[in-house]
Structure formats: structure tokens, C-alpha cells
Amino acid sequence: MDTKEDILTLLRRVGQGEVKPEEALLQLKLSPFEDLGYAKVDYHRGLRQGVPEVIYGQSKTAEQIAGILTAMVKHECKNVLVTRLSQEKADYIGKLVPLIYEPMAKLARVFPAETEAYGAIVVATAGTSDMGVAEEAALTAEALGNRVTRLYDVGVAGLHRLLNNLKPLMSARVIIAVAGMEGALASVIGGLADCPVIAVPTSVGYGASFGGVAALLSMLNSCASGVSVVNIDNGFGAGFLASKINHMGDTAK
């Protein structure tokens, strides 16, 4: 019971007399999660949120990640995201399950399946050094069924580069602004666009940037309205939130 469609199918079978109500109740009780000892795999995440459980790979062993994915494939989960995954772990897991790995974003899409691109999300970076975090955001959004436009290296040090891309900014439903240093890009975009702006501070910068804290504080104190902020280097969180905003009012969901 991993998706709304699974639940509806079960309920229809109960209504048609193919499955006893007690049997259906047992299936629903057994399906929420599975205890693997080192992880409790949440199979109802897709039902509740529309997206299978996302695996944070940085602090897990390759064997643990592979075990979680092996359990998830039994429930026919598709497009499972594994974030903060090293190349070494990706190589190990790729021998066991099908995946697409993006080394710049340190992100893997496991059991990849085609998704219909919806709406318009723009991911913009201040500099080339911010691209790793930006790609994590962009690839997350794409895996969740969103159309993404990338505008990289359009920071305030050369403002004309951003102003030359006003059309995609003005037509976006959500914009993700990724910046380190002083993090000014989010405020500038927030003052131009008529849609929600998700600011992502990065740990890029010299000593007084304090590993992204300076950009974080700048973005939190933005004078532009409609700017929200996620944690430092949290491209995944920004991409996930942008997807939720982009799909609001989508009757197909």
C-alpha cells in the first residue's frame, strides 16, 4: 500500500466483494513501515506526501542504503532519491539496483522512471561554485515531476547577467536562489519576481562568511517580500518545497 492508487484499488476490491474487509484492514496495518533493525522503512510516505521516502546517504554505509532500497523495491517504489551519496557508495549500490547518479549534486535516483514535467521552476545561482547545491535542488525537483530552468552564475557581481534573463524569472511559478558569500541574490530576485522565492545559502565564501552563516543571516533579513529560507547547502529541501508549491492546485495530483 504505497500510493493512493493502491489504496483505492484495495477499496474497490472490497466494494466488489473480492477482498474481505478484515483482510483489507490487515494489509493496511502491515503496510506503514518495515523494521530492518538499523532503519524503519516508511512505505506510507508516498501515500501521505506523494513521494517515496528519501534516503540521506551521508552517514549510512553502502550496505545499509542497499538494504533499504532492496526493501523498497519489493513495494514497487519508483524514483527513490538518495541524497549526499559519495561516488564510492553509488558504485557499490549501482551493482545491486538500477540508479542514475549525479556526482556534482551527490544525488542518486534509484529505480528511475519517467515523470511528466509540470509547471515552471527556476534554479538560479550567484556563482559557479554554488552549482553543486543548485543541482541537488534542480534534480530533486525534476525527479518529483517539475519542469526546471537553470540560470547559473548570475550573481550581483555582474547584475546585467541576471537582468538578461528576466523572461524565465517572470514566468516561473517558484524560484530557487542559491548563493554563498553575502547571499544578496535572493533579495534581488525577490524584488523582481511575482512568485515565491526559496533562498538557499551555501557554504561558499571567504573566512568571514562563516561557512554560509553570513549568507543565511542575509537571506533571513531580506527586505524583499515573499522570500523564504532553507538551511545552509540544503538544495534537496529547496527542490522538495518548490515542487510542493509548483503542484498546488494541480487537480491531477
Q: Which residue ranges make up each domain of the chain?
A: 30-110, 118-246
Q: What percent of the chain has pLDDT over 70?
A: 90
Range in 23-27, 115-119, 123-127, 162-166 with the lowest mean pLDDT? 23-27
Question: Looking at the predicted structure, is the pLDDT value of residue 36 above 90?
Answer: no
pTM greater than the 0.85 cutoff: no
Average pLDDT over residues 113-141: 92
Q: Kindly state the cell numbers that stand for 209.
A: 562568511
**What's the burial of 18, exposed, middle or buried (CB within 10 Å: 0-12/13-18/19+)?**
exposed
Q: How confident is the model at residue 9 (pLDDT cuts 50, 70, 90)?
A: confident
Task: Give the per-residue pLDDT at 66.
Answer: 92
DSSP-assigned letter for residue 104? T
| pLDDT band of 35, cuts 50, 70, 90 | low
Higher-confidence residue of 182 and 8: namely: 182
CATH 3.40.50.1970 for domain 118-246, yes or no, is yes
Length of the chain equals 253
